[in-house]
Structure 1
Amino acid sequence: MIQDIAISMTIQGTGWKHDLLLALCATLLVLGLNATSGFPTIADLGADNDSMLRLVEVRDLLAGQGWFDLHQYRMGLTGGFVMHWSRLVDTPIALIIFTFQALGASTAAAEKAAQIIWPLSLYGLTIFVILRASRRLAGTDVAMPALVLSTAALFFIGIFHPGTLDHHNVQLLLTAASLWLMTEAPFRRSAALLSGLCAGLTLAVGMETAPYVAALGACAAVLFIFDERERQTARGFGIGFAAIALVVLVATIPPSAWGVAECDAFSAFQFVIAALSGFGLAAIAGLPGQSTAKRRFLSMSALAVAIAAVALLFFPQCLASPYAGMDERIRTYWLNDVVEAQPFLSVAVNEPKLMAARYVTPFIAILLIGLQLRSRRLRREEALTAVLLIVAFAVSLWQVRGSTFSVAFAVLPLSTWIAGVRLQATAAQSWRVSTRIAAAWLVSLNATWAGVAVAAQSVVQKAPAKINSDADHALTCGKASDFSDLAGMPATAVLASSNLGSPILMFTGHRALAGPYHRNVGGNLAMLDAFMGTPDAARAIIEREHVGLVAICRGNSEELSLAAQAPKGLAARLLKRDVPDWLELDDATASKPVEIYKVR
């Protein structure tokens, strides 16, 4: 159906309304698939801790927690800790819930509506942005390949599934939009300004996109250095980037914290760098006497030196590795097991299916760009796409989370390639050309490579043993029903692995000591000391932190890992059903996914 619509739209026109309709059709298709299967990603959120805690944060906001108050009071040590997330993502989700409640829907129904509407809206908008960018690269013939590849790729990476409320989908949309608008800058006066706005917003949402924002800003500067006609691009991008940084500072940071630098969230550090780089870029582009490339290069070099000097002199702590100050135990027992934080080599060895699905299509796209360079120079829009794709691929080699962006950006050169092959087939049809078209489609789909990896793995090794042989035990304990017994107990502090922290907050009224967030240092260390320590040491921590319940999920990989690392620790003993006399198993939870022990 999508293919027929795409072909029809290519014939009828190439305006934004046509692409918006195509994106809507793709979104409705995915909505239908999820609806017919009962929205499985909402019924069981699995290990999506960020989406669960995001909903908890939105609930707290709607319940009256202050706009500037980002404390998560029900996680960590007594008093909680301050989260590093942005209210920019909370706001639209809260508005959806509030609107449905105002129309008479129950809280549960309103939340489910938000869990469906928000990620799928972002999904459709991201497809639309990729379609517009692909047309700028390859014209009208790219519509169908771009639609199919973007629909499949964005679905495959999983950040747009119903229930996904974390910020990565927002960041991908804004980064892709900034790239597209940058390609539009020579043709639309406002495009560069909007590109800067999108770049600033994606940085405000989370620091993970800093490399892409830096690349976009550098592209605006380099374009102006080599071509004076790009003056408007540099000026517009700079003004948009700096202006939105000021708006975000005023709108999301309390005045009392305007002078405080936070390296992992938007703060004085990010604002100063954004304002200096953005307004500096705009000022240089607006100065007279910038008629030669040499003068423009010297001016931009001076700006770069000024930015570096400010960062080194005033914010040196933010130039270190983002995990430089992390406690070694948290790094060893938590960060090293976070899949999205793994480097390429670790993924290639331990997760060959993930490696094939996340790295092959971006690599092919980069190869296609390299082959293009052998025959001619890249056009402006091709060069911009190449820069963002290569930066994203480089980030993915450091941490697999970067592949979310590289997979999406790879759609642009891959769809251009397929469109070219299809045009050749139209000009001279033969079985060789038909085979080439089929091959181009196959190698451009992530699912193809994931399937190849699974097939290869099944040949060279036996299927891995299940973590838990009991089919009744969930591997992640991410369903509301898993926590129904816990929810019915009087509110108290719960000792559980960090992977259970977010669902405990979402499905119950308890406080969770641990949670998979780098700012929850005290709570996570207390959990590690309790679960890996002797029962006597664990009891001392439980009494100190006023813990009333201990919860375990027998299929949870984190608990199994802690038990393996400390075979005499509390976690290992509970998994063996060797219960200390100061704990009492709640019989109603015996052999359920989440077993609960009461502190005597």
Structure 2
Amino acid sequence: MRGDFRDFLKRVALAYGLVVLLLLLTNAGGIAAGRFPDPDDALRLVELRDWLGGQGWFDVTQHRIDPAHGGVAMHWSRIVDVPLAMVVLALRPLLGGAGAEMAALLIVPMLTLAMVLVLVARVAWERLGAEAATLSCLTLAMSVPVVTQIRPMRIDHHGWQVAAAMLALQGLMTRHARIGGWVSGAALAIGLSISLEGLPLTAVFGALGAWRWLRGGETRDWLAHFATGLAAVSLACFAATRWGDWAQHCDAIAPVHLAMFVWAAVVLRLWRGPALVGFAITGAGALALYVGLAPQCRGGSFNMLDPLVQRLWYQQVAEGLPVWRQDWATALQTVVPPLFALFACAGLIQRSAGEERVWWQEYTLILGGALGVAVLVTRAGAVAGAFSAVPLAWLVGEWLSAARRGQRLAVLGIVAAMVPSAPITVWGMVPHKASSPTTTTAQRVSTCEARRHAAALNTLPQGTILAPLDIGPDLLLGSHDSVLATGHHRGARGMHDAIAAFVAPPDQARAIIRANHIAYVALCPDLGEPQIYAREAPHGLAADLLAGRAPSWLAPVAADGEGLRIWRVL
């Protein structure tokens, strides 16, 4: 490292402390209310409780979702549950069950942040020096996509995906092809075991490895070691977390993916002929395995969703949609910082030579690939944001020096790179005439606390609840009841029936409710999902409930203004 290692730790620790303090302050309201950033975080806690309560390690089925049809076998990984469980089990004797859970909700995301911060700063320290290491911590903290996924109570897997991606980047830094390839391959294997969403980024690293092979030199064999590490660690993670599940899943690491990884590793390790021929054999064989073993996956991970669920759920989940389907603020925050970072990479390539120049060329390829993935799937912007932190640190440092020399445009450059949505934020502060009631509703903060109000159900007989998909996890946390569906695609059957019931006229909805043995109906009037159903079907069940016209076969159990409303099915 450039400089003293203790200086590195001191700088990172100081930056980390400031970032943690800022995140705790800005999320204080949600922490105090026990409000999760996303329904997936609530369901992750449900999964953790089930496991610690005796559910098997290999059984990640949510038995309280669509219980009439055997529950929903989730595609999630136990890897994410382990650090949460360690904190809960360690602190439960001191803080009790609820206190230990809250501690885990705060500690584990901040440990994830610490890991990402250290890995980002290490790259900056090695390549750019001490000042850039400090600035890289700050540029990371200013990335909205990153802090959206790594913040207090954000315990789902997206933060760990960022950490795995940053660890994979470390494998590009070492001059030893064997060590570097194994580090990158192992890191991405863990990331893929957590979520298959990392597959495009893995392909980007593979493409870089192919370029290294073609270029020759001491990093020529990096790709073969990368493929070996990817295959070996993927096999180990599968054996440790999914053993016995031999189905060819499209949304999680399955035997078909393991076969592809092993094939690539064997071919790349043994091939001694022309490189391009070896790549062609590797790719053709992997494609044949994929099409032959899992032909149902050619349509993607969400091909089991019917048109109703596709239209009223999947197409409404903004984070999974392309950048051009987002609001302007989200799109700018996702795309602009990486574009500035690519501009910085161009400057770093121009000013460097030799091995250093090659490094920044490779970094540009990885960052460009990550940005390409983020453009197609917005939530992948967290990885692109983390990769952007290092070149942005150099660029901000250059602009700070220019600002100190009196160049005022440099300040505008810093603002544009770090806070690209600032003009939209300022515009939003100016009073404007509301274009429609829908716009006003969408901008309000929800008063619904489904988890807390669901406790009213615990005094009633246990049953299954028909509720909008997004509040299902909170209802599972707050009550002893089950739900028909949550917003998780493997429960496609229950998702269809839940949506169909809400958009159907009350008499047709009643038939769906009876068929699914529903005991209660619940919704939060000021959340967006039931309003989507009401707009879709103005005479449907959701529209009637929002208007206060509950059918005669529903008896109110709880009503708290615009909070959670619950009815018992008669």
| TM-score relative to the length of structure 2 | 0.91
Compute the displacement of 1:337 (Å): 0.8
Compute the displacement of 1:162 (Å): 0.9
Structure 1 position 204 matched with structure 2 position 193: yes
**Residue 180 to residue 420, structure 1, CA distance change in 2 (3 Å):** farther
Structure 1 position 551 matched with structure 2 position 522: yes
Determine which of 255, 260, 266 is the counterpart of 1:273: 260
| Deviation larger for 459-468 or 301-310 | 459-468
Quote the Cα distance in structure 1 between the aligned partners of 2:228 and 2:158: 25
CA deviation string 1:293-345 (max 9, x = no partner): xx333323322222222223323332333333421100100011111022222
Structure 1 position 532 matched with structure 2 position 532: no
Quote the Cα distance in structure 2 between the aligned partners of 1:431 and 1:249: 57
Determine which of 309, 313, 319 is the counterpart of 2:298: 319
Root-mean-square deviation (Å): 2.8
Compute the displacement of 1:65 (Å): 0.6
Partner of 2:417: 444
Paired AA for residue 179 in structure 1: L
Quote the Cα distance in structure 2 between the aligned partners of 1:296 and 1:495: 57
Compute the displacement of 1:411 (Å): 1.4
CA deviation string 1:188-221 (max 9, x = no partner): 8633322211011111110111111111122123
Matches within 5 A, 1:104-123: 104-123=94-113
Structure 1 position 261 matched with structure 2 position 248: yes
Compute the displacement of 1:283 (Å): 3.6
**Residue 483 to residue 154, structure 1, CA distance change in 2 (3 Å):** same
Contact 1:553 1:593 in 2 (8 A): yes
Quote the Cα distance in structure 2 between the aligned partners of 1:50 and 1:68: 20
**Residue 282 to residue 459, structure 1, CA distance change in 2 (3 Å):** farther
Quote the Cα distance in structure 1 between the aligned partners of 2:202 and 2:230: 10
Partner of 2:236: 247
**Residue 238 to residue 342, structure 1, CA distance change in 2 (3 Å):** closer
Quote the Cα distance in structure 1 between the aligned partners of 2:269 and 2:160: 26
**Residue 297 to residue 317, structure 1, CA distance change in 2 (3 Å):** same
**Residue 249 to residue 476, structure 1, CA distance change in 2 (3 Å):** farther
Quote the Cα distance in structure 2 between the aligned partners of 1:416 and 1:407: 15
Partner of 1:338: 317
Structure 1 position 365 matched with structure 2 position 356: no
Determine which of 214, 224, 227 is the counterpart of 2:203: 214
CA deviation string 1:485-526 (max 9, x = no partner): 234433210011111111111121111112111111111111
Quote the Cα distance in structure 2 between the aligned partners of 1:191 and 1:436: 40
Compute the displacement of 1:380 (Å): 2.8
Question: SS of the counterpart of 1:222?
Answer: helix
Paired AA for residue 267 in structure 2: G
Quote the Cα distance in structure 2 between the aligned partners of 1:527 and 1:38: 32
Contact 1:361 1:444 in 2 (8 A): yes
Partner of 1:405: 383
Quote the Cα distance in structure 2 between the aligned partners of 1:345 and 1:564: 23
Contact 1:495 1:549 in 2 (8 A): yes
Contact 1:238 1:280 in 2 (8 A): no
Quote the Cα distance in structure 2 between the aligned partners of 1:200 and 1:121: 20
Structure 1 position 583 matched with structure 2 position 554: yes
Paired AA for residue 309 in structure 1: A
Compute the displacement of 1:71 (Å): 0.9
Quote the Cα distance in structure 2 between the aligned partners of 1:507 and 1:27: 33
Compute the displacement of 1:372 (Å): 5.9
Compute the displacement of 1:479 (Å): 5.8
Paired AA for residue 47 in structure 2: E
Paired AA for residue 312 in structure 1: V
Contact 1:550 1:599 in 2 (8 A): yes
CA deviation string 1:551-589 (max 9, x = no partner): 110101110110111011111111111111111112x42
CA deviation string 1:249-305 (max 9, x = no partner): 2111223x33x2111011112211222223433344xx5xx7xxxx33332332222
| Deviation larger for 477-486 or 234-243 | 477-486
Compute the displacement of 1:86 (Å): 0.7
Matches within 5 A, 1:482-497: 482-497=453-468
**Residue 393 to residue 35, structure 1, CA distance change in 2 (3 Å):** closer
Quote the Cα distance in structure 2 between the aligned partners of 1:470 and 1:438: 36
Q: Which runs of 5+ in 1 are unaligned?
A: 1-8
**Residue 477 to residue 213, structure 1, CA distance change in 2 (3 Å):** farther
Quote the Cα distance in structure 1 between the aligned partners of 2:560 and 2:24: 34
**Residue 20 to residue 89, structure 1, CA distance change in 2 (3 Å):** farther
Compute the displacement of 1:115 (Å): 0.4
| TM-score relative to the length of structure 1 | 0.87
CA deviation string 1:379-438 (max 9, x = no partner): 23212322222122222222211222222212122112233445678xxx6312xx3543
| Deviation larger for 528-537 or 328-337 | 528-537
Partner of 1:88: 79
Quote the Cα distance in structure 1 between the aligned partners of 2:387 and 2:537: 43
Contact 1:224 1:234 in 2 (8 A): yes
Quote the Cα distance in structure 2 between the aligned partners of 1:185 and 1:47: 37
Question: SS of the counterpart of 1:593?
Answer: coil
Compute the displacement of 1:238 (Å): 2.5
Determine which of 54, 62, 70 is the counterpart of 1:72: 62
Paired AA for residue 296 in structure 2: Q
Paired AA for residue 83 in structure 1: M
Partner of 2:367: 389
Contact 2:449 2:563 in 1 (8 A): no
Partner of 1:594: 564
Determine which of 393, 406, 410 is the counterpart of 1:431: 406
Quote the Cα distance in structure 1 between the aligned partners of 2:505 and 2:411: 60
**Residue 464 to residue 51, structure 1, CA distance change in 2 (3 Å):** farther
Identity of aligned pairs, percent?
Answer: 26
Determine which of 21, 25, 28 is the counterpart of 2:17: 28
Quote the Cα distance in structure 2 between the aligned partners of 1:585 and 1:195: 56
Question: SS of the counterpart of 2:143?
Answer: helix
Quote the Cα distance in structure 1 between the aligned partners of 2:75 and 2:235: 18
Structure 1 position 512 matched with structure 2 position 466: no
Matches within 5 A, 1:182-193: 182=172, 184-186=173-175, 190-193=179-182
Quote the Cα distance in structure 1 between the aligned partners of 2:433 and 2:269: 59
Paired AA for residue 50 in structure 2: D
Contact 1:76 1:515 in 2 (8 A): no
Contact 1:130 1:146 in 2 (8 A): yes
Quote the Cα distance in structure 1 between the aligned partners of 2:409 and 2:135: 15
Contact 2:177 2:218 in 1 (8 A): no
Quote the Cα distance in structure 2 between the aligned partners of 1:154 and 1:575: 34
Paired AA for residue 358 in structure 2: R
Contact 2:399 2:411 in 1 (8 A): no
Contact 2:177 2:221 in 1 (8 A): no
Determine which of 25, 35, 51 is the counterpart of 1:61: 51
Compute the displacement of 1:44 (Å): 4.4
Quote the Cα distance in structure 1 between the aligned partners of 2:460 and 2:11: 49
Contact 1:221 1:234 in 2 (8 A): yes
Contact 2:448 2:562 in 1 (8 A): no
**Residue 200 to residue 207, structure 1, CA distance change in 2 (3 Å):** same
Partner of 2:358: 380
| Deviation larger for 22-31 or 358-367 | 22-31
